[in-house]
Structure 1
Amino acid sequence: MDKRYQVFISSTFVDLTEERREVMQALLEMDCMPSGMELFPAANEDQWTLIKGVIEQSDYYLVILGGRYGSMTAEGISYTEKEYDYAVARGIPVMGFVVADPEGIPVKKTDKNEAAARKLDDFRAKVQTRMTKDWRDGPDLAGKVVLGLTHLIKKHPRPGWVRGNEAMTPETKVKIAELEAKIAQFEKKEIETDATTASQIDKAFAHGSEHTDILLKHKGFRSYQAEEEDGLLNYTWDEIFEVLGPFMIDEAPEPALRQTFDNHMLNDIQNASDDEGWETRWSRESAEITDRSWGAILVQLRALKLITNGTKKRTASDKAVYWKLTPAGDDYLVTLRAVPSEAIQKLD
């Protein structure tokens, strides 16, 4: 797999501009991804959070020391040293590159402040306790970075970055296949458990020939004028279940079930006798169950253990709630709707 490593370059900036350019070019030629202060605006505390995040995402950390200690934080430590300490604390492989001849650095590229110079000496000594290389100029530094980083990669392998289409290794594919097999086993076990569940409804709740009132709105048009009236129809729970149950043998979306019941109520209204009080002179009629009554039907059928939520996978755009029969609901529907044998009917 072709990996690319992110390499954080830490140093003072103004005095090492050319050297940093040489190093970044060398890293790019190694197919590495250099990162460093070029990515950030002027140093401040808010920016430190961003810098920490980039260091954490880096595979390797390189620090380049020249003749300046650099701008300091409120704690009196330079940002370069603060970055170095953070990389070490995070366990990121580090390598230092220290100028070979500090005395030969032009005065304009050194600290005039004696306190800063002492801090630089201390920092240089700290860096030299780990893997370091001396450098003399930009090209020499770039060459030593290539050699040093190559050694660092061999000695301390890191995750690196890969293209998305190359990230799926054979090992990962095997693990995914194993997980999919386990999921299939759990799903099969769940189905088998459901299938062996006792097919009994909970008769502690109203059911069968017990009645319930269903509130609805009856709508239509008369002389092109929209009209509507509130009313109710009375059904037994068996009648309600006989209407809805067959559509939930598989799984059905709730809006479709509700429309099915609306159509059933409209048919009952249109076939009702005149003395039942429904308006009969409308055109383009419809019936709509109220939210309250529809919710009551769903709650009751669930309480009776006749229906449960659907479990099939849907597309992300499908926001509907799906319902299906439980084993108890399926058995109960068969007793309601199945036609007995003529031979048995004759015996009866």
Structure 2
Amino acid sequence: MDRRYQVFISSTFTDLIDERREVMQALLEMDCLPAGMELFPAGNTDQWTLIKGVIEQSDYYLVILGGRYGSMSEEGISFTEMEYDYAVELGIPVMGFVPADADEIAVGKTDRNEAAATKLNEFRAKVQTRMTKDWKNAEDLGSKVTRGLIHLIRNNPRPGWVRGDLAMSPETRAEIAELNAKIAQYEKKEVESSVTTVAQIDDSYAHGQENVELSLKHKGMYTYQDIEEDGDLKYTWDEIIEVLGPFMIDEAPEPTLRKTFNNHMLSEIQNDAENWSTGWSRESAEITDRAWGAIIVQLRALRLITTGTKKRTVSDKAVYWKLTQAGDDYLVSLRAVHSNIIKLS
């Protein structure tokens, strides 16, 4: 896979402009991504956070020493040395490049301050405890960086950067597909396992032919007036299952189930002229929230229904209900028609 590495270049700046340019050109020819002082001015404490972030994202770190120690922080440490110490602390592979003959560096490119010169010598000694190469001039430095970085990459593999459209190899795609298949299998087993654990209803709760009274509101127009009357209808739990169960073989939204039961209650009212007024128009029946909630809670307690699991659109806020395996078995036992044919042998 085509992988590129980000390489942080650390050095003083004004005295090593030509050398830095040569190093950056060498890195670009190696398809590396150079990063360093050109991105931000040294000596700015606000920039130190940015500098650290760029170092953290880099795969390799190169430090180039010349004849100057460089601008220093309030603690008296040059920003170049601070960058070097931070890269070492992070465990980033580092390589140093030091002048082959410090005495040949032009006076204008050296520290005239004795304290700064001492700090530079101490810093050079620190850098030379790790992998270093000597350089004579800008062109020599460029070639030394190329050979040195090849060695550093070969012996210290790093993640690097990959184009987004090339990030996944065919092997990676195949591995992801295999993992997705395994996840699907585990999810299927989990569902099957949960179904197995609720294969029987919990008959410790009211069920079967036991009765429940459900409150409702009966609305419509009667003798040219809008009328609303409260009332109750008595059902067995089996009757409720027979009405709602077929709609929950597959998942059904609660508003649809409630409307189905409202229509069933209206039909009951219209057929019961003895207890309910007749001759209504635009007639409707609506179960109360409390009564409907009692139905849902009871059917869940009996382990006959459970919430739906299919994916919905974001705009679909309805609660979906479906029969459990126990609920499906129970519905079949209520509504399936047995054959009356007797086989004669």
TM-score, normalised via structure 1 length:
0.80
Cα pair 1:217 1:228 within 8 Å, conserved: no
Q: Tell me, in whole angstroms, the C-alpha distance in 2 between the residues paired with 1:18 and 1:27.
A: 14
Closer, same or farther: CA 327–92 of 1 in aligned 2, 3 Å? same
Task: Give the corresponding residue for 1:9.
Answer: 9
Q: Tell me, in whole angstroms, the C-alpha distance in 1 between the residues paired with 2:327 and 2:90.
A: 59
Task: Give the corresponding residue for 1:77.
Answer: 77
Q: Tell me, in whole angstroms, the C-alpha distance in 2 between the residues paired with 1:96 and 1:25.
A: 18
C-alpha deviation, 1:319, in angstroms:
5.3
Listed as ranges, the gaps of 5+ residues in structure 1 are none
Task: Give the corresponding residue for 2:161.
Answer: 161
Mapping 1:194-205, distance limit 5 Å: 194=194, 196-197=196-197, 199-205=199-205
Q: Which of 299, 302, 305 does residue 304 from structure 1 map onto? A: 302
- Which SS does the other structure have where 1:341 is aligned? coil
Q: Tell me, in whole angstroms, the C-alpha distance in 2 between the residues paired with 1:205 and 1:141.
A: 86
Q: Tell me, in whole angstroms, the C-alpha distance in 1 between the residues paired with 2:34 and 2:187.
A: 47
Q: Tell me which amino acid in the other structure corresponds to 1:83.
A: E
Q: Tell me, in whole angstroms, the C-alpha distance in 2 between the residues paired with 1:27 and 1:14.
A: 20
Task: Give the corresponding residue for 1:64.
Answer: 64
Q: Tell me, in whole angstroms, the C-alpha distance in 2 between the residues paired with 1:182 and 1:341.
A: 44
- Which SS does the other structure have where 1:28 is aligned? helix
- Which SS does the other structure have where 2:306 is aligned? strand
Deviates more, 1:192-201 or 1:151-160: 192-201
Task: Give the corresponding residue for 2:118.
Answer: 118
Q: Tell me, in whole angstroms, the C-alpha distance in 2 between the residues paired with 1:11 and 1:133.
A: 15
Aligned residues: 339
TM-score, normalised via structure 2 length:
0.81
Task: Give the corresponding residue for 1:252.
Answer: 252
Residue by residue over 1:93-143, the C-alpha shift from the partner in whole angstroms, topping out at 9 and shown as x without a partner, is 111122334344444443343322221111111111212222344333223
Residue by residue over 1:9-59, the C-alpha shift from the partner in whole angstroms, topping out at 9 and shown as x without a partner, is 222234334433332232222211122233346655554444333323221
- Which SS does the other structure have where 1:2 is aligned? coil
User: In the alignment, is residue 29 of structure 1 matched against residue 29 of structure 2?
Assistant: yes
Deviates more, 1:174-183 or 1:310-319: 310-319
Q: What's the C-alpha RMSD, in Å, of the aligned pairs?
A: 3.5
Closer, same or farther: CA 143–268 of 1 in aligned 2, 3 Å? farther
User: In the alignment, is residue 325 of structure 1 matched against residue 323 of structure 2?
Assistant: yes
C-alpha deviation, 1:86, in angstroms:
1.9
Closer, same or farther: CA 221–161 of 1 in aligned 2, 3 Å? farther
Q: Tell me, in whole angstroms, the C-alpha distance in 2 between the residues paired with 1:270 and 1:24.
A: 90
Closer, same or farther: CA 336–98 of 1 in aligned 2, 3 Å? same
C-alpha deviation, 1:289, in angstroms:
5.0
C-alpha deviation, 1:149, in angstroms:
1.1
C-alpha deviation, 1:286, in angstroms:
6.0
Cα pair 2:42 2:71 within 8 Å, conserved: no
Task: Give the corresponding residue for 1:334.
Answer: 332
- Which SS does the other structure have where 2:300 is aligned? helix
Mapping 1:251-290, distance limit 5 Å: 251-265=251-265, 267-268=267-268, 273=273, 276=276, 280-281=280-281, 283=282
Listed as ranges, the gaps of 5+ residues in structure 2 are none
Q: Tell me, in whole angstroms, the C-alpha distance in 2 between the residues paired with 1:100 and 1:236.
A: 99
Cα pair 1:270 1:280 within 8 Å, conserved: no
C-alpha deviation, 1:92, in angstroms:
1.4
C-alpha deviation, 1:154, in angstroms:
1.6
